[in-house]
Structure 1
Amino acid sequence: MIRETKASSGLVLNSFEQLEQLSMSKLREDFPIPIFPIGPFHSHFPASSSSLTSQEQTSISWLDTKPPKSVSYVSFGSVAAIEINDFLEIAWCLANINYPFLWVVRPGLIRGSEWIKWLPSEFLETVNGRGHIVKWAPQQQVLSHPAVGAFWTHNGWNSTLESICEGVPMICMPCFGDQMVNARYVSHVWKVGVQLENDLKRMNIENVIRRLMQEEEGKQIKERMLELKEKENSCLKPGGSSYESLRSLTSYISSF
């Protein structure tokens, strides 16, 4: 992959200079081709959606009933799958933590199981009204909603960028591939989220959510996330890094 990339005419990246400045510098040292960081891609087309799954608009009407920054949005993307025991630990954590939550439980999320049949009736009674469970949600709309205060995510790159663009701090639960590195950047480099460590047990999860939603650490994380969001907004404006990189890309393509 590296060999073929170096032999290409250029590299277009779904990122922006201020987010990965050191990595961009390293890339330019190692790759003798033009590099165009023009992201976040989805911000160029805010009305579009990258989702291949039908979305339930009930998420937005439910969020409209909740106070600002009170809701934890929980979604692990369109591919990741978890074991039933982990699923139940997540469920009971959401029941015990006493925060409102919007949880995407898509078909295929639980390995070897159908959609939601594993949720016990006691759980549904406990979270009645405080939790809203859907098969899929319009993620960009959800993250931009004023009621959402945290995003519990698998840290796929699209989800990570969407969270940054909307200024929503992250609870990181990577599953495979680049998600591991993305989560580490969120928690340890940009410091705009907290990564779930050790076992996926409800007490560990509850502690992480409280750190993000209640404690002084959470306040500092939110402040850093808002700073990062402002950098993303600036990069897309005339004169911004992604704006100018896109202009350079179009000129470069036109020169062939």
Structure 2
Amino acid sequence: MALTEDKQVIHHVLLVAFAAQGHINPLLRLGKRLVSKGLHATLACTGNIQERLLKQFATTNTEDESNNSKNHSISGIQLLFFSDGFDLDYDRKADLDHYFNTLEKVGPVNLSNMIIEHYYNNHKKLSCIVINPFVPWAADVAVQHRVPCALLWIQPCSIFAIYYRFFNKLNSFPTSENPDLSVELPGLPVLSTEDLPSFVLPSNPFNSLLKMISGLYQNMKKHKWVLANSFLELEKDVIHSMYELCPIRPVGPLVPTSLLCEDEDSDVGVELWKPEDACLEWLNKQSASSVIYVSFGSITVLSAKQMEAIATALKNSNHPFLWVAKQPEVPTSDGAGQLPNGFIEETKDQGFIASWCPQTKVLAHPAIVCFITHCGWNSLSETIAAGVPVITFPQWSDQPTNAKLVTAVFKIGLKLRRNSEGIVSTEEVETCIEEIINGPKSEEYKKNVMELKAAATKAVASGGSSDLNIQWLVDEISNGNSCESEGFHFLSDNQSAEQDKVTT
């Protein structure tokens, strides 16, 4: 066991992430806050992204005397890698079912061997393993090594509550026989079928992901603590509704530090795609609150018809726009994901098309007036922290529910509605753009999102709700105590009354 000079035990926390940007970054940012409170943190993920990570950062390399190898770290967080069972050039997106099934088999063995080699062989005290939902088998590894495990939920607390009630059969949800059933859950507005996470619907095609999430909830007792990338003031009602069932502790928003009035250089986020910084130079030439920012993430590929409808609406809006249109690696015969012919030339004086951009800097730029987004939780958390109203275009997973939260709970934007063909028309996009910028509720959206921005900044600051929850976790890890319900930080009655106008 490693000891400091004053004989105090050094507590190490291992963060286990699925190898995707939106999964790695929340864990890194949580790790940075744990390090700032005296713990030692290490991030472990599969080796297929090792080269990309190490190329991006000027890593701190130190010799490990035990095995004469090099340790890589980011801002004091060590990086470790283990095999997912595939060669580096294997296309992991080609067959998700096969990939996740294989990872579930080989991941525990390789992660366990890594723990033995890095911690036990070096006499380091591993005091906690923090996992995210896409590596649920890591909880079994924690049990195997008798190390307490924490789950970092990387979607809103509302989604956690929905899944908990769905997988434990506590409420009625749509079925093949009754696909249009509306769902009423404590702490949430009434949810129609189109508002629910796609994985709870009978039409869900992703069996491996459903199996993985189901297994997570069936084994929830393996997690000593449940954390969330959210903040209390944002989801107060649904967090309170879970108190007796399975308390969830918000420790976010785990977004870039520059959005939270903190030093930009202290952020530990990674960019697995190279951003085009030229878009910032273009933004600098635009008027304040004039630019429509459009991005649908790294996975979504829209049909050619949908791309054309959005392109036409942006052109007709007479507003400058910045569109992150990540083109397919292999062009499809039906034109999916591709910009309409001639669009770039026609709008060269109005818009900027980027394959990827530094989203944090874009959202914080004074030229941005609104964000048209797929409503992934990382993007939504960033736009809230930046104080930018949104137009949502959800696709799958948690995104439909996130969009419902935007319109019915947070009240910071609008949702694009599909027609009978499943397409959002040009007219619909134009109408939402006009409403979000100049409509009768435009000032209300701006006011609400700015209040949430202030609440997010306060939550992570010293003494804020998320900061207190992180400190409580650090104390639990350091003292080896069990999870006591009274340790959860809730708003006082006075604080609750002050926040009602923001969160209801």
- TM bucket (normalised to shorter chain) is over 0.9
Deviating runs (4+, > 3 A) in structure 1?
Answer: 43-51, 113-118
Cα distance in structure 1, aligned partners of 2:311 and 2:302: 12
1:79 counterpart SS class: coil
1:146 counterpart SS class: coil
What is the aligned partner in structure 2 of residue 210 from structure 1? 434
Matched, 1:5 2:229: no
Cα offsets for 1:168-217 (capped at 9, x unmatched): 00000000010000011001111101000133110111000000011121
Cα distance in structure 2, aligned partners of 1:63 and 1:109: 27
**Inter-CA distance 141–25: structure 2 relative to 1 (3 Å threshold):** same
CA displacement at 1:117 relative to structure 2: 5.8
Matched, 1:154 2:378: no
Match of 1:250 among 434, 457, 474: 474
2:219 counterpart SS class: helix
On the 8 A contact 1:105/1:115 being kept in 2, the answer is: no
Match of 1:28 among 232, 243, 257: 243
**Inter-CA distance 4–72: structure 2 relative to 1 (3 Å threshold):** same
CA displacement at 1:230 relative to structure 2: 0.9
Cα distance in structure 1, aligned partners of 2:464 and 2:339: 49
Cα distance in structure 2, aligned partners of 1:57 and 1:97: 25
Cα offsets for 1:42-100 (capped at 9, x unmatched): 24585343432111101111100001110010000111111111011111111111100
On the 8 A contact 1:70/1:147 being kept in 2, the answer is: yes
Match of 2:409 among 178, 184, 189: 189
What is the aligned partner in structure 2 of residue 124 from structure 1? 344
Cα distance in structure 1, aligned partners of 2:243 and 2:237: 10
On the 8 A contact 2:256/2:360 being kept in 1, the answer is: no
Q: What is the TM-score with the length of structure 2 in the denominator?
A: 0.48
On the 8 A contact 2:323/2:351 being kept in 1, the answer is: yes
Given residue 479 of structure 2, which amino acid in structure 1 is its aligned partner? S
Cα distance in structure 2, aligned partners of 1:134 and 1:93: 18
Cα distance in structure 1, aligned partners of 2:346 and 2:393: 24
Match of 2:254 among 41, 63, 68: 41
Unmatched runs of 5 consecutive residues or more in structure 1: none
What is the aligned partner in structure 1 of residue 320 from structure 2? 100
2:242 counterpart SS class: helix
CA displacement at 1:165 relative to structure 2: 0.1
Identity %: 32
On the 8 A contact 2:459/2:466 being kept in 1, the answer is: yes
What is the aligned partner in structure 1 of residue 231 from structure 2? 16
Given residue 64 of structure 1, which amino acid in structure 2 is its aligned partner? N
Cα distance in structure 1, aligned partners of 2:240 and 2:372: 31
Given residue 237 of structure 1, which amino acid in structure 2 is its aligned partner? A
CA displacement at 1:250 relative to structure 2: 1.1
Cα distance in structure 2, aligned partners of 1:140 and 1:83: 27
On the 8 A contact 1:173/1:195 being kept in 2, the answer is: yes
What is the aligned partner in structure 2 of residue 54 from structure 1? 274
What is the aligned partner in structure 2 of residue 221 from structure 1? 445
On the 8 A contact 1:82/1:111 being kept in 2, the answer is: no
Given residue 468 of structure 2, which amino acid in structure 1 is its aligned partner? E
Matched, 1:240 2:464: yes
1:132 counterpart SS class: strand
Cα distance in structure 1, aligned partners of 2:385 and 2:219: 31
On the 8 A contact 1:17/1:37 being kept in 2, the answer is: yes
| Count of residues in correspondence between the two structures | 253
What is the aligned partner in structure 1 of residue 295 from structure 2? 75
CA displacement at 1:116 relative to structure 2: 7.7
